[in-house]
Structure 1
């Protein structure tokens, strides 16, 4: 079982205006790839990545067809925070059965805790003059991480979890 380190948990905390660059990579059943920059990201339990569903169109369709995803992260200011997390994803939307469970993550718990990311505060490293528009959140993508690799120069491809 994968278990995030504290550094990974900190690096994957991107409440709207984070310093980390996080990308969700998906693929349709016929192999057409899609990559999208993510704006609201957090960890849940010891092995889940949560991503707010605000602008996901192709990404959401791909996840429904093919749940295998990669979440890639790099931090331009902090060395060693270059990771690729691979696993399976589901987009928990409002209207899901409240008892829906995804590898131990309950839909009710996820939506109650993470259903309105817009109220989150930005990390200290973000300049105060950066302002993002407020968006309507439609759900939460939950990624059950099964393995992780380094994508750091000199260590790319090394399995770390």
Structure 2
């Protein structure tokens, strides 16, 4: 189980998060996300509200392997890799609706992406660049 630190949680919830996906053919896509909530830091569970996902959603449905990083990667130099699931109803959609309501009351999410973080890598330049920091066993 990959555990997110308090600083990682703050960064993911307060910074622009870049979500990288790829199609089943391996064509990459990256998109900025703002409606992000850490559901469980101990289990590495992150939710992203789907407000405008097109290519991103298509890719997640074809290939659930994703990567995340924040715009503030100088201070929080981490790349998170994980597996995404998409929800159009239920508890996760309600959380996405609450998240949107707090950020922009005029938004209503189409769905919710829930990511189980399975690996964390160091993005800081230097001898440890790209080093695996944590991995789900």
Alignment match, 1:146: 118
Aligned length: 131
The alignment's C-alpha RMSD in Å is 2.0
TM-score by length of 2: 0.85
Q: 1:68 aligns with which of 55, 65, 69?
A: 65
Equivalent in the alignment of 2:75: 80
Q: Note closer, same or farther for the CA distance 1:67–1:22 as it changes in structure 2 (3 Å cut).
A: same
Distance in 1 of aligned mates of 2:93 and 2:105: 21
- Bigger fraction of residues in helix: 2
Cα distance in 1, alignment partners of residues 102 and 129 from structure 2: 32
TM-score by length of 1: 0.73
Q: Which residue of 2 aligns with 1:109?
A: 91
> SS in structure 2 opposite 1:55?
coil
User: Matched residues in 1 for 2:125 and 2:49: separation?
Assistant: 29
Higher CA-based Rg:
1
1:47-91 deviation per Cα after TM superposition (whole angstroms, max 9, x unaligned):
111111000000000001000000112317xx5312111010012
SS in 1 for 2:26: coil
Q: Which structure 1 segments of 5+ residues have no match? A: 15-19, 95-107, 122-131
